[in-house]
Amino acid sequence: MRARWALVVFATVACLPAIAAGQEQRDDANLFRWDGYTWARAEGYGTRVAVGPDGQPWVINSRHEIWRGASNGSFDKLPGEALDIGVGTDGSAWIIGTDNGIYRWTQNDWMRVPGSGVAISVDTSGAAWVVNADGQIYRWVNNQFVAFERGRARDIAAGPSGVWIIGTDNRVYRLQGNDWQVTDGSGERISAGPAGTAWVVNQGGQIFKWENSAFHQMPGSAVDIAAGPNGQTWIAGRRGGNNNNRGTGARRRQP
């Protein structure tokens, strides 16, 4: 992976508690949590979301600020700026910085590691999977990024259900052994859930869930989606009002 050495200065400051409404900007989307039946409106706004092992969201907003949710509904502002974020089942957090550099959370700041990317996810071992600007796929192994020789991607998801990608053809693929198996779906953003599930947002903002070997349309619309290891699923949904309409009303199997 070619590293980009343009520097972004990350202020090393204490995490500052703030009300979630303080994040809102015109380009931010509302946060919603799946309660098993519908999308429940939650505090907070953003454009990218990940879920920690405690089920709480980590959010990037339109100003590239990084916020970590707490069980009482509040958010702590973390140092740094990011374009994408991933959190593993062990709590390991990684970001793509605004310089496209890759950073790992050290509990008080972000540590730069070699490499660059545009999308990131974190598997169950805490290792990051990255897609770079050329669509190449890399995995963090033995303190370095190693190229995955097969496939090209636009987005990637690693979790309890394995590793998934949105290919450069926008189709959804699942890693089987050392190769990618195509599914019947297409999308823009993807997250790997537990027990063989995956969640996809397609180019039109529609939401689909992979379950029982097929995609099923879910209510609502979103710009990003994230599933936690215990099934807690969050979206950065559309702004304002009810987020549980199905759009066309048709139930589709394919994103």
Question: Residue type for 162, please?
Answer: G
Distance, first Cα to last Cα, the chain: 31
Which pLDDT tens digits describe the chain residue by residue (255 residues)?
433 333 333 333 333 344 443 445 668 999 999 999 999 999 999 999 999 999 999 999 999 999 999 999 999 999 999 999 999 999 999 999 999 999 999 999 999 999 999 999 999 999 999 999 999 999 999 999 999 999 999 999 999 999 999 999 999 999 999 999 999 999 999 999 998 999 999 999 999 999 999 999 999 999 999 999 999 999 999 754 456 654 322 223 333
Q: What is the dihedral of CA 211, 217, 222, 224, to 10 degrees?
A: 20
CB atoms < 10 A from the CB of 72, how many?
A: 7
Q: Residue 7's pLDDT is what?
A: 30
Indicate the class that CATH gives domain 16-237.
Answer: mainly beta
Percent helix, percent strand, percent coil in the chain, to nearest 5:
0, 55, 45
Q: Residue 13's pLDDT is what?
A: 32
Question: Residue type for 64, please?
Answer: H
Rounded distance, CA 230 to CA 53, Å?
Answer: 8
What residue spans define the domains of the chain? 16-237
b/e per residue 83-116 (b: at least 16 CB within 10 A)? bbbbbbbeebbbbbbebbbbbbbeeeebebbebb
Query: β-strand 29-34 against 233-237: which pairing, if any?
Result: antiparallel
pTM given for the model: 0.85
